[in-house]
Amino acid sequence: MQHASYVHGASQQPLIGKTIGQMFDQACQQHAQRDALVVRQQGIRWSYAQLQEQVDRMACSLMRLGLEPGERIGIWSQNNAEWVLTQFATAKAGLVLVNINPAYRRAELEYAINKVGCRALIASPSFKSSNYIEMLQDLLPELADCQPGELKAARMPRLEWVIRMGQQATPGMLGFADLLSEPTQAERMALQQLGERLQFDDAINIQFTSGTTGSPKGATLSHHNILNNAFFTGQAMGFSPADRLCIPVPLYHCFGMVLGTLTCLTHGACMVFPAESFDALSVLQTVQEERCTALHGVPTMFIGLLDHPQFAQFDLSSLRTGVMAGSPCPIEVMKRVTTLMHMSQVTIGYGMTETSPLSFQSSADTPLDKRVSTVGQVHPHVEVKIVDNDGHIVPHGETGELLTRGYSVMLGYWDDPQKTADSIDKSGWMHSGDLAVMDAEGYVNIVGRVKDMVIRGGENIYPREVEEFFYRHPKIQEVQVIGVPDDRFGEELCAWIKLRDGETASIDDMRAFCQGQIAHYKIPRYIEFVDSFPMTITGKIQKFVMRQQMKEKLGLNDSQTA
């Protein structure tokens, strides 16, 4: 096919053929005296040499507990130094780190631990409204009468070790500080020998995808997957040891632990954590005081920074770049970030947990018009094609589902061959479920989810297009558009609009703004003014929750569309 929507990220830069542990040791030797980790809320400031010593101590301790390469160890915590130590120490010990969403409650934790057979769990005492210790004691009453490492729990039969952060002691749990004791010379030697045996294709990380229906799936990633994706992400930003990256995104997600910590590691840069979770004021203070050169975030985070009442009081002139990803970025927001936040080289990224995560990214020298309207070009060593409902590649300019193939595609969903086969086809293509359009230069625009596309009276409507139009309105801070069931047309559009502080507007005002500017069928039938949107802990808008709420409010049900 002429002008087919297919691209391959040919590159003269070879893939890294190392494990994370090998890359970690190399970086720590090369950048020993440089800042490696700053955790503001804990008062921690470690050089690469200091970070390496702490990581090696922990890795030796994990081996001392009897944990074997390939076994799973969970971490249930907000952002902190312990999380970073655990990430690198488990990689050096060959353990598969299982990221537990900090928002999980009892049933979700129990499912995750049992699904992948965790033998150990590292947990924070508490975070926000979650008392982790209390929940663990409720799920594991056997902790009260056992020694650390001797847990035999009815509800989590594979779990033996529970390790708690913090200074206090809890019956049946090992203190995190105990993992940082001085190893023997023999233990250090054993760790080094193990590192030489580990392979870069080994599984090293399991991340649960936030499914909208059914149980979460455990995307299983290798050293090779995430180490290379982190490196090429940094390359697109022009990263060097001189960079200092502010990381307000959660570590339990790829954005934090791959595009954050691992990207810094692969370029000898400094990881800077402003707080245990996103807080706009902490981010602004951290960027100014730490002279951060880069900042990561989802669009809602950048909106929160730009609209903070004290925004103008901070000197953000040290900023240069970063990654904005996680959900489509409104063009107007992107323009404000490049000017008001001095991030002239900010990059837009697109991907999914199952592809480690990025498949597309703009670069520091991508023309501004492409940077604000697309997700950039294909990552090195990655293939992408866009296909129609029959699996045929569509021409440039036509909409279809985006598929990815290459080193970045996950090993599979843990212990779920059927779901793996449903997502990765026989030719190795990972089906994203995202609708995309590719231009003649290989730039891609994500126009929505396959399941989010609204079909009104036979017309295909992409909510992203309608959202972009609304962002032109000076009173609108944020907008999300969904489809809801309708007797006559099958579906109708519904817009949730959050106005800027102090502004007022009516439904008629919004409709008048649309008249004559966009096609009549793209003007939302329903308009809701809201103060916030339902979202995941990573800042992704949960449109399925919005849809359900509107169906209940309007008395609609899906059977009406049959």
In percent, the amount of the chain with pLDDT more than 90 equals 82
pLDDT tens by residue, 507-560: 999 999 998 888 888 999 999 999 999 988 777 788 989 999 999 999 987 633
Give pLDDT, residue 521.
Answer: 83
- Provide CB contacts within 8 A for 471, sequence distance 6+: 330, 331, 332, 333, 479
CA separation for the pair 497, 550 (Å, rounded): 14
CA distances from 393 to 7, 271, 359, 402, 468 (A): 11, 41, 18, 10, 27
Give pLDDT, residue 175.
Answer: 98
CA distances from 145 to 65, 150, 161 (A): 19, 10, 14
pLDDT tens by residue, 498-509: 999 999 999 999
- Which of 205-214, 338-347, 413-422 has the weakest average pLDDT? 205-214
Give pLDDT, residue 212.
Answer: 40
Strand pairing partners for 479? 497
Nearest to 79 by CA among 243, 230, 271: 271
CA distances from 121 to 58, 137, 157, 173, 209 (A): 14, 13, 13, 10, 19
Q: Any idea of the CA torsion for 247, 250, 252, 256, to the nearest 10 degrees?
A: -30
Strand pairing partners for 528? 496
Name the pLDDT band for 33 (thresholds 50, 70, 90).
Answer: very high
Q: What mean pLDDT is predicted for residues 221-230? A: 98
Average pLDDT of the chain to the nearest whole number:
94
CA distances from 61 to 90, 93, 455, 525 (A): 10, 9, 56, 60
Give pLDDT, residue 503.
Answer: 96
- CA 191 centroid distance within chain: 30
Q: What mean pLDDT is predicted for residues 341-357? A: 96
3-state secondary structure of 193: helix
| Better pLDDT: 365 or 354 | 354
Give pLDDT, residue 558.
Answer: 62
3-state secondary structure of 451: coil
Contact in structure between 348 and 330 (CB atoms under 8 Å):
no
Residue 290 pLDDT exceeds 70 = yes
Strand pairing partners for 460? 455
CA separation for the pair 61, 184 (Å, rounded): 10
The dihedral through the CA atoms of 50, 51, 56, 62 has a sign that is positive
Domains and CATH numbers, the chain: 48-209 (3.40.50.12780), 454-561 (3.30.300.30)
CA distances from 369 to 234, 412, 457 (A): 22, 36, 33
Residue 2 pLDDT exceeds 80 = no
3-state secondary structure of 308: coil
Phi, psi (5° rounding) for residue 474?
Answer: -65, -20
Nearest to 271 by CA among 35, 552, 96: 35
pLDDT tens by residue, 461-500: 888 889 988 999 999 999 999 999 988 788 899 999 999 9
Contact in structure between 281 and 288 (CB atoms under 8 Å):
no
* Residue the block writes with tokens 């009815």: 154
Exposed/middle/buried for 251, CB within 10 Å: 0-12, 13-18, 19+?
buried
- Provide CB contacts within 8 A for 155, sequence distance 6+: 110, 139, 140
Cis peptide before 463 (omega within 30 of 0): no
Alpha-helical runs (H) found in 4-153: 20-30, 48-64, 81-93, 106-116, 132-139
Q: How many CB atoms lie within 10 A of CB 421?
A: 12
The dihedral through the CA atoms of 177, 178, 181, 183 has a sign that is negative
State the SS3 of 406-422: ECCCCCEECCCHHHHHH
pTM for the complete prediction? 0.87
How is the beta sheet containing 358-361 ordered, strand by strand?
323-324, 347-351, 358-361, 377-378
- Provide CB contacts within 8 A for 351, sequence distance 6+: 229, 254, 325, 357, 358, 359, 360, 404, 408
Nearest to 227 by CA among 254, 258, 249: 258
In percent, the amount of the chain with pLDDT more than 70 equals 98
Residue 213 pLDDT exceeds 70 = no
Q: Which amino acid is at 353?
A: T
In 3-state terms the chain splits into helix, strand, coil percentages (rounded to 5) of: 35, 25, 40
Phi, psi (5° rounding) for residue 239?
Answer: -70, 150
Both ends of the chain: CA-CA distance in Å? Answer: 37
* H-run or E-run covering 300: helix 299-306
Encoded tokens for 410: 């996950």
